[in-house]
Chain A
Amino acid sequence: MKQTQKALAIFMSTAMVGGVLAGCGQSASTAAPSSDAAQSTTTQQDPAPAGEKIEITYWDQNASETRTALYNHLIEGFEKENPDIKVNLVPIPAADAKAKYDVAIQSNTAPDCGGVSQYWMSDFIVQDALVPLDDYISNWANAGDMLEMYQQSIRDMAPDGNTYALAFSVTLPTVWVNNQLVADAGAEMPKDWLEVCSLAKTLTDTTKGQYGFSIRGGAGSSQQFEQMMYMHSGEAKMFDEAGNSTANDPAHVELLEQFADLYMNATPESDLTNGYAEMVAAFDSGTAAMIFHNLGSYGEHKKTLGDGNFTAITTLESKQGTQAIVSNGATCNTVFKDSKNPEAAFRWISYLNEHEACSYFNEQIGQIPCNQQALKDSWVEGVSHMKNAADSILSEKCTLITLPINVTGYYDLHNNQLVQGFQQVLLGEISAQDYLDGWAASMTQLKKEYDDYLKSMDK
């Protein structure tokens, strides 16, 4: 009996320990089950015979009930206009979307088309996963309505200069300010980042549990700070002529030092691990007088603080006296090479990007449509911060600074390495200079690897 028990124990512990490896093995195909589930609705087959419907699958990379309802409405309209095509919508939770696309691409089970963040695209292009859309675009009657500024930015992502996506919506980095708290303090709206930092201290009253600013210190922190620092410096080049990253520009160091000084003096302690939700909650509850996010959170502020009680500042003056929009790209629609029906897939994504659909969708989610006609619609004109943002985008005076999202590994660097260092700076464990030097060195290395790869492709 005892021997049996012993054998059982050894067997069980071996099996459990084996789970460590099996678990990791599964992680290499981590999204496989879901991907398969998603795939169950896709159609990976030859074009349907005459009279039969072609089925295509579209992945929404930022699933929510609201978005699903909007897409279903648009699909209904599209299928009426295109009775030969059926669109299957697969909503994917935002946190898993990139990983699911990666796994689907590796297993040749990517959908026909889908929504993607522009800063993911270099990873997909390197894997030869996307269809060049230039020929389709040249035959598309309304292609001229697309925002050239963003389409050019998409072309810049590809070493071959092809267009691999259509920009669908964009959201501008924004400082959200609680009007009442600023008025109570008799202060004025900030005009540059140093004034934001100084105002944050003015608006802080810890005895009342009120803080001037809420920093995003957890997931997404370094990406958000990257937008702040280039807004502050006005530096338009991501790399100098020698190929070195400009991430450690002195103006960036200055701003990070200011922010590290704000932590716990003008912010809650819990900001160290703040994600998007916690940061927005701090602003909406009145705990924090200012946050830095983007226009996409407008709806939530309106719901809790009420319209007119907050201000969106989308342009701040840089150290160079300029005003720039710092962009990590647009939300795009793209067609995958695994598609057996790329033409039908393009018809769907181009429908999404046309005036009516693009305007309808972006109005509902509170983001800026990447369609020139949609930018002139009354709903854009009627909301002050949207109008300001649209004016900035359409203005020739305002420059677009695009972050180095075309360099493969950019997203991974932010996602897995830079967040911890950012927290260490806030805690005073490392200096702002050391952190940004490390960041610049990593970006420079990634750029060099990427350039070497491109050279090897040319040979």
Chain B
Amino acid sequence: MTNVKASATGPVLARKKTDCAPYLLLLPAVLLVAAFMLYPIGNVFYLSLQHYNPTKPWMNGFAGLENFAKILSDADFRNSLLVSAKWVLAEVSLQLVFGMMIALILNQKFRGRGLFRTLAFIPWAMSGVLTAVLWSLIYNQNVGLLNDVLLKLGLIDTPRAWLANSGLVFGSVVVAELWRGIPFFAISLLAAMQNISGDLYEAANVDGCSRWKAFLYITLPSLKDTIILTTLLRAVWEFNSVDLIYSLTGGGPVGKTTTLSILIANHATKTNNYGYGSAISVISFIILAIISLVYLKASKFGTSE
């Protein structure tokens, strides 16, 4: 009887031991995420309800929803929200279009294809600050490459201040970021294109399908999930992007390139106004979360046509 009991509990204990193992293995990762994601996120929510500026201790304390109420009447916030929306739309759509074009070209068979694929990836590997230095030299009013080329081509009469002219600066920064962002789409789409069966194109060719129609009815539908995922990821990245804009223009002139992320950085690091900066972060989080969920739902991501 005793033997029977022992043999019955043995596997149970063994299973219990086995059941714990995955959790123990996951524990370090969970702890790291908790320390570096959950705690800061929780702290931001907490600070958003506080007046907190270490250099003005007399103002510190519970603020309730005051910071959020202030946001509603803050012209800088409204301006930066608009700039962010323009920025994300311009960047994601242009990067997708140009990335698709490059991916289609690199998907063809030609000599030196490997080299061109490597070259196409280079801008993606460059840091935002380095890219900013490169483009600030290109855009320089007095010694910049762009003015020199345009003057020689007779397209402009006098050198332009690409980063100081309030009508030109947004487009100039968009182009610089575009240059850096295209490879992400090009590589992602190229990888997805290589998974499309050649039989489909062969069959379409036999049926007399043009290249354009093959792209429209075979390539694009096959890339649907990749396009949805990459555009969503890129939109979130661009929304949060700080490095290039900060290094090129610092959000200026006159707020023309101040995105929400730049505004948050300014409030938190320049003015020490952590309470208000956190409230703007919470609003940004909510906006991004809603847009992401709506986008995934509307695009029917992961479902077959």
A residues with CB within 8 A of B:
2-3, 5-6, 9-10, 12-28, 30, 99, 102, 105-106, 123, 126-127, 206, 209, 217-219, 268-273, 282, 285, 287, 408-409, 412, 415-416, 419-420, 423-424, 427, 429, 449, 452-453, 456
Main secondary structure of the interface of A (DSSP, over half): helix
User: B225 and A27: CB pair below 8 A?
Assistant: no
From A13, A217, A415, A423, contact of B232 by CB (8 A): A13
Nearest A residue to B237, CB-CB: A16
- How many residue pairs link A and B with beta carbons under 8 A? The number is 179
User: B250 and A24: CB pair below 8 A?
Assistant: no
User: B268 and A13: CB pair below 8 A?
Assistant: no
Nearest B residue to A273, CB-CB: B164
User: B142 and A16: CB pair below 8 A?
Assistant: no
User: A28 and B278: CB pair below 8 A?
Assistant: yes
Chain B 261-280, CB-CB to A under 8 Å as 1, else 0, gives: 10011111111101001100
State how many angstroms separate the Cβ of A105 from the closest Cβ of chain B. Answer: 7
From A18, A271, A419, A456, contact of B41 by CB (8 A): A18
Chain B 231-242, CB-CB to A under 8 Å as 1, else 0, gives: 011001101100
State how many angstroms separate the Cβ of A439 from the closest Cβ of chain B. Answer: 16
Q: Contacts A25-B43, A409-B56: A13 and B240 contacting too (C-beta < 8 A)?
A: no
From A9, A16, A415, contact of B302 by CB (8 A): A9
User: A270 and B254: CB pair below 8 A?
Assistant: no
Q: Contacts A17-B289, A423-B252: A209 and B56 contacting too (C-beta < 8 A)?
A: no
List the B side residues contacting A268 at CB < 8 Å: 141-142, 161
Nearest B residue to A424, CB-CB: B254
Is B281 part of the binding interface, using a Cβ–Cβ cutoff of 8 Å?
yes
List the A side residues contacting B296 at CB < 8 Å: 6, 9-10, 13
Q: Contacts A17-B292, A218-B250, A273-B163: A27 and B268 contacting too (C-beta < 8 A)?
A: yes
A198 and B166 alpha carbons, distance in the complex (Å): 27
User: B252 and A24: CB pair below 8 A?
Assistant: no
User: B40 and A416: CB pair below 8 A?
Assistant: no
Q: Contacts A127-B55, A412-B271, A415-B270: A20 and B265 contacting too (C-beta < 8 A)?
A: no
List the B side residues contacting A13 at CB < 8 Å: 232-233, 236, 292, 296
Among all A-B residue pairs, the 8 with the closest Cβ atoms: A25-B40, A6-B302, A24-B281, A269-B161, A270-B161, A270-B141, A272-B164, A123-B55
User: A127 and B57: CB pair below 8 A?
Assistant: yes
List the A side residues contacting B239 at CB < 8 Å: 20
List the B side residues contacting A271 at CB < 8 Å: 164
Nearest B residue to A4, CB-CB: B302
User: B44 and A408: CB pair below 8 A?
Assistant: no
List the A side residues contacting B254 at CB < 8 Å: 420, 423-424, 427, 429
State how many angstroms separate the Cβ of A337 from the closest Cβ of chain B. Answer: 14
State how many angstroms separate the Cβ of B255 from the closest Cβ of chain A. Answer: 6
A217 and B160 alpha carbons, distance in the complex (Å): 17
Q: Contacts A2-B304, A287-B142, A427-B166: A21 and B54 contacting too (C-beta < 8 A)?
A: no
Q: Contacts A21-B282, A25-B41, A27-B277: A419 and B142 contacting too (C-beta < 8 A)?
A: no
State how many angstroms separate the Cβ of A141 from the closest Cβ of chain B. Answer: 36
A388 and B260 alpha carbons, distance in the complex (Å): 48
User: B161 and A272: CB pair below 8 A?
Assistant: yes
A206 and B158 alpha carbons, distance in the complex (Å): 9
A284 and B45 alpha carbons, distance in the complex (Å): 49
- Enumerate 12 A-B pairs (CB-CB under 8 Å) in ascending A order: A5-B302, A14-B292, A16-B240, A20-B281, A21-B41, A24-B268, A217-B164, A218-B250, A269-B161, A269-B165, A270-B141, A272-B253
User: B236 and A408: CB pair below 8 A?
Assistant: no
User: A416 and B271: CB pair below 8 A?
Assistant: yes
From B44, B57, B141, B293, contact of A21 by CB (8 A): B44
List the A side residues contacting B57 at CB < 8 Å: 126-127
List the A side residues contacting B163 at CB < 8 Å: 270, 273
A21 and B49 alpha carbons, distance in the complex (Å): 14
Is B288 part of the binding interface, using a Cβ–Cβ cutoff of 8 Å?
yes
Q: Contacts A17-B236, A273-B253, A423-B252: A24 and B44 contacting too (C-beta < 8 A)?
A: yes
User: A19 and B249: CB pair below 8 A?
Assistant: no
A269 and B142 alpha carbons, distance in the complex (Å): 10
User: B55 and A409: CB pair below 8 A?
Assistant: yes
User: A30 and B161: CB pair below 8 A?
Assistant: no
Q: Determine which residue in B225, B264, B272, B285 has the highest number of CB atoms from chain A within 10 A of its CB, and name it.
A: B272
User: B288 and A420: CB pair below 8 A?
Assistant: no
Is B301 part of the binding interface, using a Cβ–Cβ cutoff of 8 Å?
yes
User: A19 and B240: CB pair below 8 A?
Assistant: yes
Is B156 part of the binding interface, using a Cβ–Cβ cutoff of 8 Å?
no
User: A27 and B161: CB pair below 8 A?
Assistant: no
List the B side residues contacting A21 at CB < 8 Å: 40-41, 44-45, 281-282, 285
List the B side residues contacting A28 at CB < 8 Å: 40, 43-44, 47, 268, 274, 278
Chain B 144-167, CB-CB to A under 8 Å as 1, else 0, gives: 000000000000001111011110
State how many angstroms separate the Cβ of B190 from the closest Cβ of chain A. Answer: 19
User: B264 and A27: CB pair below 8 A?
Assistant: yes
User: B232 and A449: CB pair below 8 A?
Assistant: no
Q: Given A20-B240, A28-B44, output 19 extra A-B contacts at Cβ < 8 Å.
A: A5-B225, A10-B293, A15-B37, A18-B285, A20-B261, A21-B44, A22-B36, A22-B40, A27-B268, A123-B55, A127-B54, A209-B142, A217-B253, A268-B141, A269-B141, A408-B56, A412-B270, A420-B255, A449-B59
